[in-house]
Structure 1
Amino acid sequence: MLSAPTRRSIARLSAGAVKSIGSSGTTPVACTFSVTNATLRKAAAAAATTAAAAQQPQVPAQRAFSTAVRPRNTTRTTTRAARAARAAYYSQEAQGKGNKGAENKIWAFEEIQTLIEDPNRKVIIIDTREPGELHQTGRIPTAINIPITTSPDSFFISEDEFEDRFGFPRPSKDSEVVFYCKAGVRSRGAAGLAREAGWEKVGEYPGSWLDWAARGGKVER
């Protein structure tokens, strides 16, 4: 059944068609009905289309799809970078101010030499240089290698992750450790990070490898 607006539209079109035919006086009656019927059919179809469109639910415009890629979680990278920055700070402190007033125990060449000869030693010597440097020069006997430049988070990760990374257990927090590097700068940074991570018995060998080699210290390769 046609709606009220549709019926009104048909009525207006019918009236207009009849008026047009009557004014000419030449259009046959059959033609009048033909024109009127065609016009009515078109009007009905147009009105039905309009009514159907009006009844269709309005679909809200879709939001433009965002192609922005979510950034990766950089928390770990940022944390590692922050620790590297702190290591650099400790190292600069050692380079600019020396070791005066440092909380860490300061070891001399003779003490390190005595330490490596002690079969009952409980102090762990840690070389903080990069593996390539150790490959070129060797190391102080019994020293383990924890490179501070490329692994500043070594004292903050889990024990399992540490062992997976380096292939040996990390010194426990209640053990005494002494750090050295090439010239005493990176070892100061490593000592600072170890203290920050909870190690308390921390020492440094400021002369480090340059002093050790110059004095004829034993070398382990």
Structure 2
Amino acid sequence: MFSNLLAGLLFGTLSVRGAALSVAFVNPALGGGSMLDLAAPPLGEPLNVIISGLSSPAVLTDAGVLNFAQAIGFSTECLGIHIGAPQSANLGDGNGSVNQTVELRQDFGNSALGTCLESLIGGNHFRVFRQNGPSANTGALFLAVSKEEDAEENHTIVPDGYDVGRNEFVASAVGTTSNNGVTYSTVAQNISGLLPVGTAGINHDIAIDGIVTLLTVTIQ
């Protein structure tokens, strides 16, 4: 109920097309988009974490989200190598379906080479999509977070991996973290009603609980 009310209110503020909005996010469905990305159409993976557009502006840039990710245990892919096609998402902002901005992986405490270990043994990872189109320019970052198997299992998602991945990501983010001289304070709020509950439309036929976690990240 909260999510439906919130999304309706936010979408109603769009009076200047293309102008930046001082809101947390806009529900993609209101602009013809979806809270599922296009992983294997018609199936998708849930955009189960949102970094609020009300976060510190520097967090919402490409460099900023990478630094924040490194502060909470994620980094760029092993040696910069990406295997597999990028996924896309329609965030209902007027841009249509757009490829992920970046994919980041758990680094096991080593931002330089730790993601090579994730690629080998599996772990948490997430894809970033930015809501910045002319009809919903919030700057919010929509994340598809999931925990995956090791290389021998072809990096398929672990059982309950969407919810588990989200929960582990949020647990690492909430509170005070820092990296490269930047200190972050992060608060979380769970929202129901944006995603379905169950397996309908979900890639790998893995059930989800329908919860999206909204993170507001403030630079101290």
- Do these two structures clear the TM 0.5 threshold for a shared fold by scoring above it? no
Q: Which has the higher contact order (CA 8 A, sep 6+)?
A: 2
Q: TM-score, normalised by structure 1?
A: 0.22
Give the alignment's TM-score, normalised by structure 2: 0.22
More helix by share: 1
